[in-house]
A and B are shown apart, each in its own frame.
Chain A
Amino acid sequence: MLGKTAGGLYWMFRFLERSENTARLIEAGFRIALTRSKDPEAEWKSVLTTARVRADYDRKYDGYAASNALDFLLRDTDNPSSVISSIENARTNARMVRTALTTEVWEAVNESWMALKAVLKNPVTQTKLPAVLGEIRRHSAQVRGAVHGTMLRNDIFDFTQIGIALERADNTARIIDVKYYTLLPSASFVGSTLDNVQWETILRSVSAHRSFRWLNNHEISPMSIAEFLIFDSRFPRSLSFCSRILEDNLGYLAKDYDARLPCHDMIDAQRDKLRAHTISTVFDEGLHQFITSFISANNAIGEQIEKDYRFVG
């Protein structure tokens, strides 16, 4: 496979994952701002921070009115992580690697692009927001379904999964990073309304408010939430789960190409680090520090993969 093609696949699926993650952040923020928060602007500010676009947003707007935040996150082409930019980038990469995709996958991406461009052509009102977010989620599911149902399990598939896993791990880690203070035992006492709201935001941002309750008998504690997001191997957005996907797929590549590369050592080190920790040792060491170092290690793995598999010349 061409190095450029591997890179195109990787970025195509990072951007697809990003569009879905942004939609999920919006959904959580919207719901909390609507139902629970005394300070909706603070919610939107936090969403923009988590999406890592606040600096760009601040250059454009004063304050964090819902309509501005929504517009910036959904349909602003100046925002490289907006849903419309992400889907545009995903499709441009898909065009570039079209020979590596099945017809079903290509058509699913192309249709997403056509549909979302139409839906996001005009500003999205709060009335229409749920339907729009639903459509974004549906299209993303369609692409994922086409990938799983039609693509060969070869190096092409591996690079798609690597892109997804890295983007998703980064997203979950950033959610923890922005809200980590609400998870610290020192800053909380169980039953406080404020914390409950913040915890719900976190769980909704990763679409896990229901599954978490199922697994934890409705007993919510900051430590159990942190443990769930970092370590739970059943939860497909946990850091541990994403790292395993990454490790597996990099492993398949090593076997396929009969070559162990520096990125393999890095993912092994990450796995060992996650295994060596429990939630108590993470809290002892400092949650914030742990997450910050995870984010930079995750980025470094991504950069190493780009080098090892020759994405660019």
Chain B
Amino acid sequence: MSSDRRHFDEMLLGQDAVRAPYAEYENWFSQEDRTRLSKKSKEAEAFFRRTGITFNVYGQSAAQERLIPFDLIPRIIANREWAKLSKGIEQRVRAINAFLHDIYHRQEILRAGIVPVDLIASNAAFLPQMIGVAPPGGVYTHIVGTDIVRTGEDDFFVLEDNARTPSGVSYMLENRETMLQMFPELFSQIKVQPVSDYPKNLRHSLAASAPKNCAGKPTVAVLTPGIHNSAYFEHSFLADQMGVELVEGHDLRIVDGHIAMRTTEGYQVIDVLYRRVDDDFLDPLNFRPESMLGVPGIMDVYRAGNITIANAPGTGIADDKAIYSYMPDIIEFYTGERAILKNVQTFRCSEPDALRYVLDNLADLVVKEVHGSGGYGMLVGPAASKKELAGFAEKLRRSPANYIAQPTLSLSTVPIFTKQGLAPRHVDLRPFALVSPGGMNITPGGLTRVALKAGSLVVNSSQGGGTKDTWVLED
């Protein structure tokens, strides 16, 4: 779709002026030889291929491995801007954990009439198996990736809360590594807050969330669906960086009421499982019986308090797109504070008035499936053909509760490096928050995704998006 021409560019103000956070970078960039940068850009691609930083694309042949294109112009955030963002994320993640505890226990928020009962009771992301279960240390979402977009100098919006198994953090880390290798001199000139502590923090955060009865140093493992999963690189990367085992369902079984992994020396108990397998596939005895990816009976071990599952099963109820529109109220209910970060105006198609408005204005709206992710199954109104619009309107009428709609935002842009010079492209931002009983840790920066096609607003890697290194400047 073509975007509004008045969108906010985070680097360039006009012909010759740059915004303050980019001043030092621009100073360096303007003296750089473009041919050298072109060469560097190719080097980066070769580096990604060689190190195997690839992802598998669903729906293509099994052997298909693709690179997420990397752009060498960093996305730069001032310390002051980050301070507000991280405060907002912290507040939001705190509220999400409180909401999850409440929704699986006393459900005060439903009794108070703030979130409609129907929305929970009829929601596939709500797991009745979690009712009354107390996760170790009281933490539900240990890892949260909050998708944030910007439309102006002070206008940040949360687009989505990823409270299940957010991915992309390996790209945040590898993008920085790549930049450090390509342009070491830049980092001696400009003080950028480091991100490389993330794996260490993740390990500590997971270990701190171990069950109470865990004696000695907790054993942590990462559970992956296997090498054909689209995010397998990230799973092995994180296990490697944390120095813990990367396990699959068939490596695990229950031994004396604990989850244990098959090692060369016998079965060894796992205390904390960082699972990158969806709820549905986690336990064939409790959820999908045909799943081969999980561990039969793990939910019983979990309920007995003998393992920490991160994130806890059932956290999807908090990042559901239908719940999203209630987030400002949810934050206020649990924290007593106004939400620091704004929500995007959201029309719940389950409500007749909203549905009518959405149908009348379909060509101006973005419509998303309530349970969808990864940019699949969504409609970008302004980019859609008449036929697509009509087809989607039909779907909306048939099952309105499956959809929400939002106005198309004029997303901010950051330039990318092209042969013709700098070219503005729309971006979003996914910072990562780690939660343990001891507190929260948010890595300064996050993953910046960029729509590489001119004017496009879709940043998902599965839909042709790329990534940038994200800098939060020191004071």
Q: Is A106 an interface residue (CB 8 A)?
A: yes
Residues of A with C-beta under 8 A to B227:
92, 95-96
Say yes or no: A257 contacts B264, CB within 8 Å. Answer: yes
Say yes or no: B236 contacts A2, CB within 8 Å. Answer: no
Chain B 364-398, CB within 8 Å of chain A: the 1/0 string? 00000000000000000000000000000000000
Q: Is A187 an interface residue (CB 8 A)?
A: no
Assuming A95-B227, A98-B240, A99-B246, is B51 touching A309 (CB within 8 A)?
no
Residues of A with C-beta under 8 A to B265:
257, 259
Say yes or no: B52 contacts A110, CB within 8 Å. Answer: yes
Say yes or no: A4 contacts B251, CB within 8 Å. Answer: yes
Residues of B with C-beta under 8 A to A257:
264-265
Q: Is A123 an interface residue (CB 8 A)?
A: no
Q: How far is the CA of A106 from the CA of B52 in the complex (A)?
A: 9
Chain B 89-128, CB within 8 Å of chain A: the 1/0 string? 0000000000000000000000000000000000000000
Chain B 171-193, CB within 8 Å of chain A: the 1/0 string? 00000000000000000000000
Interface range, B side:
20 to 34
Q: Is A155 an interface residue (CB 8 A)?
A: yes
Residues of B with C-beta under 8 A to A114:
49-50
Chain A interface residue count, Cβ-Cβ cutoff 8 angstroms: 24
Q: How far is the CA of A107 from the CA of B52 in the complex (A)?
A: 8
Q: How far is the CA of A257 from the CA of B265 in the complex (A)?
A: 7
Q: Is A1 an interface residue (CB 8 A)?
A: yes
Q: Report which residue of A2, A3, A107, A155 has the largest number of chain B beta carbons within 10 angstroms of its beta carbon.
A: A2
Q: Which of A122-146 contact B (CB under 8 A)?
A: none
Assuming A2-B251, A3-B264, is B236 touching A111 (CB within 8 A)?
no
Say yes or no: B263 contacts A99, CB within 8 Å. Answer: no
Chain B 261-274, CB within 8 Å of chain A: the 1/0 string? 11111100000000
Residues of B with C-beta under 8 A to A259:
265
Say yes or no: B247 contacts A2, CB within 8 Å. Answer: yes
Q: How far is the CA of A98 from the CA of B224 in the complex (A)?
A: 13
Q: Is A149 an interface residue (CB 8 A)?
A: no
Which of A99, A111, A253, A310 meets B239, CB within 8 Å? Answer: A99
Say yes or no: A99 contacts B52, CB within 8 Å. Answer: no
Residues of B with C-beta under 8 A to A95:
52, 227, 232, 236
Q: Is B248 an interface residue (CB 8 A)?
A: yes
Chain B 443-466, CB within 8 Å of chain A: the 1/0 string? 000000000000000000000000
Q: Is A191 an interface residue (CB 8 A)?
A: no
Q: How far is the CA of A155 from the CA of B264 in the complex (A)?
A: 9
Q: Is B250 an interface residue (CB 8 A)?
A: yes
Chain B 340-371, CB within 8 Å of chain A: the 1/0 string? 00000000000000000000000000000000
Residues of A with C-beta under 8 A to B253:
313
Residues of A with C-beta under 8 A to B329:
none
Q: Is A6 an interface residue (CB 8 A)?
A: yes
Q: Is B245 an interface residue (CB 8 A)?
A: yes
Assuming A95-B236, A96-B227, is B264 touching A107 (CB within 8 A)?
no
Q: How far is the CA of A1 from the CA of B251 in the complex (A)?
A: 11
Assuming A96-B227, A313-B253, is B52 touching A3 (CB within 8 A)?
no
Q: Decide if the interface of chain A is mainly helix, strand, loop or mixed.
A: helix
Residues of A with C-beta under 8 A to B236:
95, 98-99
Residues of B with C-beta under 8 A to A103:
51
Q: How far is the CA of A257 from the CA of B50 in the complex (A)?
A: 35
Q: How far is the CA of A283 from the CA of B50 in the complex (A)?
A: 50
Say yes or no: B263 contacts A1, CB within 8 Å. Answer: yes
Q: How far is the CA of A92 from the CA of B236 in the complex (A)?
A: 13
Residues of A with C-beta under 8 A to B52:
95, 98, 106, 110
Say yes or no: A107 contacts B51, CB within 8 Å. Answer: yes
Q: Report which residue of B236, B261, B263, B266 has the largest number of chain A beta carbons within 10 angstroms of its beta carbon.
A: B263
Closest chain B residue, CB of each to CB of A309 = B264
Q: How far is the CA of A2 from the CA of B49 in the complex (A)?
A: 27
Say yes or no: A313 contacts B262, CB within 8 Å. Answer: yes
Q: From residue B247, how far is it (CB to closest CB) to chain A in Å?
A: 7
Which of A3, A92, A106, A155 meets B262, CB within 8 Å? Answer: A3
Q: How far is the CA of A4 from the CA of B265 in the complex (A)?
A: 12
Residues of B with C-beta under 8 A to A253:
264
Chain A 82-117, CB within 8 Å of chain B: the 1/0 string? 000000000010011011000100110011001000
Say yes or no: A2 contacts B263, CB within 8 Å. Answer: yes
Say yes or no: A4 contacts B51, CB within 8 Å. Answer: no
Say yes or no: A313 contacts B264, CB within 8 Å. Answer: no
Q: Which of A213-262 contact B (CB under 8 A)?
A: 253, 257, 259
Q: From residue A101, how far is it (CB to closest CB) to chain B in Å?
A: 9
Say yes or no: B245 contacts A2, CB within 8 Å. Answer: yes
Say yes or no: A310 contacts B263, CB within 8 Å. Answer: yes
Q: From residue B351, how far is it (CB to closest CB) to chain A in Å?
A: 47
Q: How far is the CA of A107 from the CA of B236 in the complex (A)?
A: 14
Q: From residue B61, how far is it (CB to closest CB) to chain A in Å?
A: 13
Say yes or no: A110 contacts B262, CB within 8 Å. Answer: no
Q: How far is the CA of A92 from the CA of B239 in the complex (A)?
A: 18
Q: How far is the CA of A310 from the CA of B251 in the complex (A)?
A: 10
Q: How far is the CA of A257 from the CA of B250 in the complex (A)?
A: 23
Residues of B with C-beta under 8 A to A98:
52, 236, 240, 246
Closest chain B residue, CB of each to CB of A98 = B236
Say yes or no: A99 contacts B240, CB within 8 Å. Answer: yes
Q: From residue B176, how far is it (CB to closest CB) to chain A in Å?
A: 16
Residues of B with C-beta under 8 A to A107:
50-51
Chain A 292-313, CB within 8 Å of chain B: the 1/0 string? 0000000000000000011001
Residues of A with C-beta under 8 A to B50:
107, 110-111, 114
Q: Report which residue of B227, B253, B265 has the largest number of chain A beta carbons within 10 angstroms of its beta carbon.
A: B265
Q: How far is the CA of A63 from the CA of B277 in the complex (A)?
A: 51
Assuming A95-B232, A98-B236, A99-B246, is B51 touching A2 (CB within 8 A)?
no
A selection of 21 A-B contacts at a CB cut-off of 8 Å is A2-B247, A2-B251, A2-B262, A3-B262, A4-B251, A5-B245, A92-B227, A95-B52, A95-B227, A98-B240, A99-B240, A103-B51, A106-B51, A106-B52, A107-B50, A110-B52, A155-B264, A259-B265, A310-B263, A310-B264, A310-B266
Q: Told that A2-B247, A3-B263 touch, could you supply 9 new A-B pairs with CB distance under 8 A?
A: A3-B262, A3-B264, A4-B250, A95-B52, A95-B236, A98-B52, A103-B51, A309-B264, A313-B251
Could you list which residues of chain B lie within 8 angstroms of chain A, going by C-beta atoms? 49-52, 227, 232, 236, 239-240, 245-248, 250-251, 253, 261-266
Could you list which residues of chain A lie within 8 angstroms of chain B, going by C-beta atoms? 1-6, 92, 95-96, 98-99, 103, 106-107, 110-111, 114, 155, 253, 257, 259, 309-310, 313
In the A-B complex, list the 5 residue pairs whose CB atoms are closest, starting with the nearest. A99-B240, A309-B264, A98-B236, A3-B262, A6-B264
